């Protein structure tokens, strides 16, 4: 069974920063509808879903045979993830197709 990206590594600092920023947005965010709603940052949810769906490069040795190639592909995936968690990119279809 192939291991998923979330099982190996995620850029947690960037995900946490995006989640914290999203919690402070006061205009155009679903959490602003009512003060009692629990604020669950969508950035974190997007990161978790992406990490669960994408195979880690180490699980595909036929495409990424060396640790260096695996690390390079993992960093590329992290780049997509860093953009995916930004509130401004919520509806960015091109970003969704990049993975």
pLDDT of residue 81: 92
* Exposure letters 12-28 (e unless 16+ CB within 10 A, then b): eebbeebbeebeeeeee
- Whole-number average pLDDT of the chain: 85
- What kind and span of H or E run contains 44? helix 42-53
Contact status, residue 50 vs residue 74, Cβ threshold 8 Å: no
Does residue 97 have a pLDDT over 80? no
Per-residue pLDDT averaged across 12-41, rounded? 72
pLDDT of residue 48: 93
Q: Nearest to residue 46, comparing CAs of 1, 14, 2?
A: 14
Per-residue pLDDT averaged across 78-95, rounded? 86
């Amino acid at each position: 069974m192939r291991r998923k990206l979330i099982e190996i590594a995620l850029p947690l600092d960037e995900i946490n920063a995006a989640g914290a920023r999203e919690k402070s947005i006061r205009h155009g965010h679903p959490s602003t509808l009512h003060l009692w709603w629990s604020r669950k940052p969508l950035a974190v949810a997007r990161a978790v879903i992406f990490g669960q769906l994408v195979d880690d490069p180490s699980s595909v040795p036929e495409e990424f045979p060396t640790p260096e190639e695996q690390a390079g592909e993992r960093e590329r995936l992290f780049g997509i993830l860093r953009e995916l968690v930004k509130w401004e990119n919520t509806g960015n279809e091109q970003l969704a197709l990049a993975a």
